[in-house]
Structure 1
Amino acid sequence: MNTALSIDTPRPLKEYAPSKLELLKAIRREGFLGWMMNTWRQHGDLLRVRMGSQSFVLVTHPDHVRHVNVTGREHYDKAESYDVLRELLLGEGIVTATGDAWRRQRKLMAPFFTPRGVEKFFPIFISDTQRLIEHWQSQHQGSGRPVEMLDEMMQVTAAVILHSVFSTDSGETLMRIKNSIETLVTHISSLRTRPIQVPMWFPTPGNLRFHRAHKLVTAYIQELIARRRALPTEQWPDDLLTKLMTTKDEETGTFMAEQLLVDNGLTMFAAGHETTARTLSFLWYALSQNPEVERRLHAELDAVLGDAPPTLNDLRKLPYTLQVVKEVLRLYPAAPMYARDAVADDELDGVRIPAGTMTLVFSYATHRHPDFWEEPERFEPDRWLPERESARHAHAYHPFAIGPRICLGNNFSLLETHVMAAMLARRFKLRMKPGHVPQIDMSGTLGSRNGLPMLIEAR
């Protein structure tokens, strides 16, 4: 693929511009994710899509993914597409910052999230998962009453984040903060798809709920910071908040500013629990639909773990478990697509991309591209055998994005998911409620429009 700039001879970019009525009917019939997949299948890998006054370039082919995220990354950033998220929720934290502000934060925070760095949170992953095991055994195991799996996973991953970032107990605080974060994320995710945009200052019930939730979460983080500052530093807990408060920017010699501490605390909670919860929820769904995969997973867990929780060394002896996790991230990425804005004129595969263009990198479709995945809709963990993984296009798989702006928490999430999958699958089988067929769709992140009700059975 030639991505060199040749403005004199660009080829035309295909365009698809459905009418509002056509768009509404299609989304009602297929869901937004289904409509996006059908649009890709019908029109190809590089396409401009117009939705009313909005438009974006759909990027799916791994070569195009590589250009936007890696080889041509200087032409793309998180600009206008992230303004709503920046203004209403995450401020200038690591996810939404740009330019030098992002680079300094990334340099400061990256050492905490290396594969070795996240191992310090391993005991938290174990203890919070053990609490969930005990809860399921006493309340749900064999009851015949389905539980909403996404809610169950949200609670345990939210507990992990509260303990890892803030060293706080869960209980009532966990539920209040978790519910408030979900209110914020749901409200923001719905903004782009609303046919009529209502200003945030207008007192609709949804806006009022949003503002109450935002005030509660912000005040909670501010209070944690203030309480910590009131203690001698030697009494500060060894968690991520303390690391952010005590690590100096090498370039400026200053500590992270108060508002940026709040922004990053909120960012880590909002981004750190929801995506992992969705990965785990779809892992249980995938296992329930693939009994041979489940059998092999159980055999590996039984042989390595017995009745004891895993150690870090045990995890290295659970390669098939990790293969299952990777395959879930392929077929059910928590973020099915992500935006990158052209901040300078560019050319992508011979097509002119003017500055100001939003590109929508469609990982959900890349992960199903038939040129790179054999039987792409099949759940097959053996795709992740080392020899098969190394032979694949390096950018055909990007569940955490890719390149310099790859998700900072990817190692944290992978280790957490590996631990929870091993511990929970060792004890339980999870089955879909009889007759229930999930309607998989997205509203910002991947989910099911009719939920994931599951029965918890002992193994």
Structure 2
Amino acid sequence: MQAPGPHLLQFLNGVRTLGFLDFVGKQWREHGDVFQVRIGRRTLVFAMHPDVVERVSVSHRQNYEKLGSYDSVRKYLIGNGIVASNGELWRRQRKLMAPFYTPKGVQAYAELMIRDGARLVERWEALASKGTEVEIAEEMTNVTASIILKAMFSTETMESIHQMKDAVETMLSFVNDQMAGPTLPMWLPTSKNRKYLAAREMVHRSIRALIAERRGTDEAQWPDDLLSRLMKARDDETGQAMSESLLRDESITTFFAGHETTARTMTFAWYALATNPKVTERLHEELDRVLGGRTPTTNELRQLPYTLQVIKEVLRLYPAAPFYARDVVTADQFGDFDVPVGATVMLSPYFTHRHPQFWENPEGFDPDRWTREREDARHGHAYHPFAAGQRICIGNNFSLLESHLLLAMLAQRFTPRLRAGFAPRWSMQGTLGITNGLPMVIMPR
């Protein structure tokens, strides 16, 4: 049986008038946990129930791949990077890279996270003394970009960091435009096309130069960063190293995935704290009791469980990736509904995390959902901010460590305050965002 859903004109008009997120939420309320829409020859199947997340990601994962729905990402941004690759290439790359991103592996980058966090503390101290208003998303993007570029390439100069950040964000914006609808062909010398091509050339040229520089020196002198680890990695069976194009693609993937999503999480954390004063009070109590104004060590993070609970609740209510796609390669069923070959399944952390069957007061911000007892009692796939199964985001441990450290360092000293009367306008353009920014005044505690 075919799943219900709006016809194409309803879908296009609804997205235009309500925005993608609100329109999809309206369809969920009207049609239930599985509904679909046909866009030309393409069928999108939206699925909100955690049982479907489990089916697509774990028990029937062989029926799904990352095919046409990732073409624009592959072509214009990350090539064959691990986010978009498939089959044997994905399995080999995942095996090679997984040791770098274990909870133990990411500890190697805690020191630079703390160092960049301390620089932001200094900046905010100066801003707080003047009552300066800032765009908090830009503050968070700058610090997470600096951290991932240092972790990836040992890049230290702010000029290089800003150049790479701006170029990759230009590429990402171009990809979002390509995925949103019809665009002009690349051979036309439009300003948007020229800007994208210049940004891509700058990124590719920079990475080629870094690789060449390292290959021209003794391996013993290489810095212990992610690029060196990628260059040294060898396939267990063949002894094969990554090609230069794969090193480039994985480097871009790491930067794209490693700074934007964490920046969004931290941005939304400040919004959540500014609008939930009782949560902020409990957070401050824990930070004061454990740290007493000191910079946290990684060992002390274990004594800051409520701080991590705040991060997890931010990821629940405001997941940076509100949807992710899987393409159907073998026909399947979701309950009574047929899922045909060639369809694209849209899984949604944003709406699964709001499912009233699995979340009490789903729109409320409540870090106490993340006590061990309540977490263990919950459906195993009701929460999937980093996707699920074998293709869960490889950088999830890096992101959680970074968010935990940054929130602990900044929240014990500052309480950013929203501009009076401000109301965010949430939207989705690839990632979850706020179209009118997030202006906040940095206030000392």
Residue type at the aligned position of 2:198: R
**1:96 counterpart (62, 65, 84):** 84
Count of aligned residue pairs for this structure pair: 445
Q: Deviations over 1:332-351 (max 9, x none)?
A: 00000000001122223232
5+ residue gaps in structure 1?
Answer: 1-10
What is the 5 A alignment of 1:168-179? 168-179=155-166
What is the 5 A alignment of 1:160-199? 160-194=147-181, 196-199=182-185
Q: Which residue is equivalent to 2:244?
A: 258
What is the 5 A alignment of 1:256-295? 256-295=242-281
**Higher deviation after alignment, 45-54 or 201-210:** 45-54
Q: Deviations over 1:147-201 (max 9, x none)?
A: 111111010000001111111114111111111111111111122223x431122
Preserved CA contact (<8 Å) 1:321 1:418: yes
Preserved CA contact (<8 Å) 1:104 1:249: yes
Cα distance in 2 between the residues matched to 1:33 and 1:451: 17
The Cα of 1:24 is off from its aligned counterpart by 4.8
Residue type at the aligned position of 1:266: I
Cα distance in 2 between the residues matched to 1:178 and 1:59: 34
Cα distance in 1 between the residues matched to 2:157 and 2:413: 23
Q: Which residue is equivalent to 1:5?
A: none
Q: Which residue is equivalent to 2:27?
A: 39
Preserved CA contact (<8 Å) 1:17 1:50: yes
**1:391 counterpart (362, 377, 388):** 377
What is the 5 A alignment of 1:258-337? 258-337=244-323
Preserved CA contact (<8 Å) 1:55 1:358: yes
Q: Deviations over 1:226-265 (max 9, x none)?
A: 1111111110001111111011111221111111000001
Structure 2-normalised TM-score? 0.98
**Higher deviation after alignment, 142-151 or 99-108:** 142-151
**2:214 counterpart (228, 252, 262):** 228
The Cα of 1:409 is off from its aligned counterpart by 0.1
CA RMSD, Structure 1 to Structure 2 (Å) = 1.2
Preserved CA contact (<8 Å) 1:148 1:454: yes
The Cα of 1:52 is off from its aligned counterpart by 4.9
Q: Which residue is equivalent to 2:393?
A: 407
Preserved CA contact (<8 Å) 1:64 1:349: no
The Cα of 1:355 is off from its aligned counterpart by 1.7
Q: 2:421 matched to 1:431?
A: no
Residue type at the aligned position of 1:179: D
Q: Deviations over 1:276-296 (max 9, x none)?
A: 000000000000000000000
**1:105 counterpart (70, 79, 93):** 93
Q: Deviations over 1:366-385 (max 9, x none)?
A: 00000000000000000001
Cα distance in 1 between the residues matched to 2:425 and 2:335: 35
Preserved CA contact (<8 Å) 2:72 2:179: no
The Cα of 1:206 is off from its aligned counterpart by 1.1
Preserved CA contact (<8 Å) 1:90 1:266: yes
Q: Which residue is equivalent to 2:328?
A: 342
The Cα of 1:101 is off from its aligned counterpart by 0.3
What is the 5 A alignment of 1:212-227? 212-227=198-213
Structure 1-normalised TM-score? 0.95
Cα distance in 2 between the residues matched to 1:14 and 1:28: 21
Q: Which residue is equivalent to 1:446?
A: 432
Task: State the SS of the aligned residue for 1:454.
Answer: strand
Cα distance in 1 between the residues matched to 2:7 and 2:364: 32
**1:59 counterpart (41, 47, 52):** 47
Cα distance in 2 between the residues matched to 1:99 and 1:170: 38
Residue type at the aligned position of 2:409: M
**2:3 counterpart (9, 13, 24):** 13
Cα distance in 2 between the residues matched to 1:54 and 1:36: 17
Cα distance in 2 between the residues matched to 1:80 and 1:128: 38
What is the 5 A alignment of 1:12-161? 12-19=2-9, 22-52=10-40, 54-138=42-126, 140-161=127-148
Preserved CA contact (<8 Å) 1:177 1:217: yes
The Cα of 1:141 is off from its aligned counterpart by 1.2
**Higher deviation after alignment, 45-54 or 179-188:** 45-54
Q: Which residue is equivalent to 2:223?
A: 237
Q: Which residue is equivalent to 1:4?
A: none
The Cα of 1:310 is off from its aligned counterpart by 0.5
**Higher deviation after alignment, 49-58 or 388-397:** 49-58
Cα distance in 2 between the residues matched to 1:389 and 1:323: 11
Q: 2:233 matched to 1:247?
A: yes
Cα distance in 1 between the residues matched to 2:45 and 2:385: 19
5+ residue gaps in structure 2?
Answer: none
Preserved CA contact (<8 Å) 2:42 2:343: no
Cα distance in 2 between the residues matched to 1:28 and 1:289: 29
